[in-house]
Structure 1
Amino acid sequence: MVEGLTTTIQLASLAMAAWCLVSVLRNQPMVVPHLVGIGLLWLLLLGQGVVSAVQATNDTRPAETAVFVSYLATVILIPPACAVWGLAERSRWGPAVIAFACLILPVMMVRLEQTWDPTIV
């Protein structure tokens, strides 16, 4: 895993969550810029997934491979799932779904780092 990319993902996710929470407080539905933001976040997650897969096929492997792969798959699937759910919900709760998902992603990224290198506390 690339620590700098992980930090970027965490910061982008928290910024996206804050932006969506502002939309919720303003009683606004999900709009195209929200989709663009979640799409960019998803691209960052895909990049981390590709880098992790390449590193795992080389000499560097996570300590708990099955757990790592399941967390990585979940992290990569969260943004598209919340985008579809947010689009389906045409009230202010559409951005709330994205905000909730974006608050979960940083925690899951920390867990991914912990399963990659168990010495990280």
Structure 2
Amino acid sequence: MVDGLTTTIEIASLIIAVWCLITTFRDRPMLVPHLIAMGVLWLLVIGQAVVSGVLMAGGERPAETATFIGYLATIVLIPPACAAWGFMERSRWGPAVIAFACLILPVMMVRLEQVWDPSSV
């Protein structure tokens, strides 16, 4: 796992969450800029997944490989699933779905780091 990339994902996710919460409180639907932001976040997450896969193929292994792969797969699926759901919901709750997903991602990234290197806890 790349610590800098993990931190970037966490910060970007929290910024998008705040932006989407403001959009929700303003009673506005999700727009294309929200989708673009989620796409960028998804690319960052995919990058982390690829790096993790390369490290695992190179011999580095997390303490609990199955748990790590489960978390990683979930993290990769959250941004596109919630972006699609948020875009289909054309009320103020569309951005709320995105905000919720963006608040979950940093927590899951921290857990992913803990599973990767239990000594860092």
2:93 is aligned to 93
Cα RMSD (Å): 0.5
1:37 is aligned to 37
Give me the TM-score of the superposition, normalised by structure 1.
0.99
Instruction: After TM superposition, give the deviation of residue 120 of structure 1 in Å.
Output: 1.6
Matches for 1:14-93 after TM superposition, within 5 Å: 14-93=14-93
Runs of at least 4 residues of structure 1 off by over 3 A?
Answer: none
Do residues 104 (structure 1) and 104 (structure 2) align?
A: yes
Amino acid at match of 2:59: D
Amino acid at match of 1:106: P
Distance between the aligned counterparts of 1:120 and 1:111, measured in 2? 11
Distance between the aligned counterparts of 1:120 and 1:27, measured in 2? 42
Residue aligned with 2:118, SS: coil
Distance between the aligned counterparts of 1:41 and 1:48, measured in 2? 11
Q: Gaps spanning 5+ residues in structure 1: where? A: none
Q: Deviations over 1:51-97 (max 9, x none)?
A: 00000011211110000000000000000000110011100000000
Amino acid at match of 1:84: A
Give me the TM-score of the superposition, normalised by structure 2.
0.99
Distance between the aligned counterparts of 1:93 and 1:119, measured in 2? 40
Residue aligned with 2:90, SS: coil
Residue aligned with 1:119, SS: helix
2:12 is aligned to 12
Instruction: After TM superposition, give the deviation of residue 35 of structure 1 in Å.
Output: 0.1
Residue aligned with 1:95, SS: helix
Distance between the aligned counterparts of 1:64 and 1:58, measured in 2? 17
Q: Gaps spanning 5+ residues in structure 2: where? A: none
Residue aligned with 2:48, SS: helix
Identity across the alignment (%)? 69
Distance between the aligned counterparts of 1:44 and 1:76, measured in 2? 10
